[in-house]
Amino acid sequence: MKIGLIVYSKTGNTYEVSQKLEKNLSEAGHSVNIERIEIDDENQRDLSKIRVKSPPGISKYEAIIFGAPVNAFSLCPEMTVYMSQLPTLKGKKIACFVTKGLPLAGTGGNQAISKMKNLCESKGGSVSGTGIVIWNKDRDKQITNMADEFNKLF
Ligand SMILES: Cc1cc2nc3c(=O)[nH]c(=O)nc-3n(C[C@H](O)[C@H](O)[C@H](O)COP(=O)(O)O)c2cc1C
């Protein structure tokens, strides 16, 4: 299956996870392409002023995995802006994951995933797999488990 791994990553953590997912999914026989979202001004926090540079297109993919960090107990604004501008997601297989720093429950992981799901649904898509990677807690095991789950979907 042709899979697009579309990620936003400010400090590299989410990108690193996407590279591990790429390796795992490629080994399972998929054709995987990572596309990293870039922003005009990385310091811009005002949603209405965030501009995505050459937003990655999705039409060439049968399946898409969106990945982003948690910011301020929710989805980071950069991914929110990118996903809000997507065309229809009808007919695509979709999974979403986030990375986060805080290990405690209630610190934004589920909130961010819900937001990603809602954004996908608002574009006619439905999310069949999700994952949350807590950065400083058995990270490799969490990533392997998530890759195994995503492999079952595609
Ligand atoms: C501005 C900012 C806000 C953050 N807010 C949260 C948060 O609410 N909850 C959490 O668990 N981690 C939070 N983090 C930690 C990041 O989610 C975590 O380091 C993530 O893995 C960074 O991903 P990246 O390297 O791909 O940008 C925050 C980090 C930054 C810079």
73 lines ligand 1 (CB under 6 A): yes
pTM of the full structure: 0.98
Mutate which of 37, 44, 71 for ligand 1 pocket (most atoms within 8 A of beta carbon): 71
Q: What is the pLDDT of residues 79-122, one digit of tens each?
A: 999 999 999 999 999 999 999 999 999 999 999 999 999 999 99
Q: What pLDDT is recorded for position 144?
A: 94
Q: What pLDDT is recorded for position 6?
A: 98
Q: What pLDDT is recorded for position 128?
A: 96
Question: CA-CA distance, 14 to 1, in Å (whole number)?
Answer: 22
Centre of ligand 1 from the C-alpha of residue 1, in Å: 31
Mean pLDDT, consecutive 10-residue stretches, the chain (154 aa), reads 98 98 96 97 90 96 98 97 97 98 96 98 97 95 96 93
Q: What pLDDT is recorded for position 47?
A: 87
Q: What pLDDT is recorded for position 131?
A: 98
Question: CA-CA distance, 120 to 87, in Å (whole number)?
Answer: 10
Centre of ligand 1 from the C-alpha of residue 135, in Å: 9
**Where are the chain's structural domains?**
2-153
Centre of ligand 1 from the C-alpha of residue 85, in Å: 23
Nearest residue (by CA) to ligand 1, atom 15, is 101
Q: What pLDDT is recorded for position 74?
A: 98
Nearest residue (by CA) to ligand 1, atom 16, is 100
Nearest to 125 by CA among 86, 75, 90: 90
Q: Is 65 helix (H, G, I), strand (E, B) or coil?
A: strand
* CATH class of this structure's domain 2-153: alpha beta
Question: CA-CA distance, 126 to 55, in Å (whole number)?
Answer: 21
Centre of ligand 1 from the C-alpha of residue 125, in Å: 26
Q: What pLDDT is recorded for position 16?
A: 98
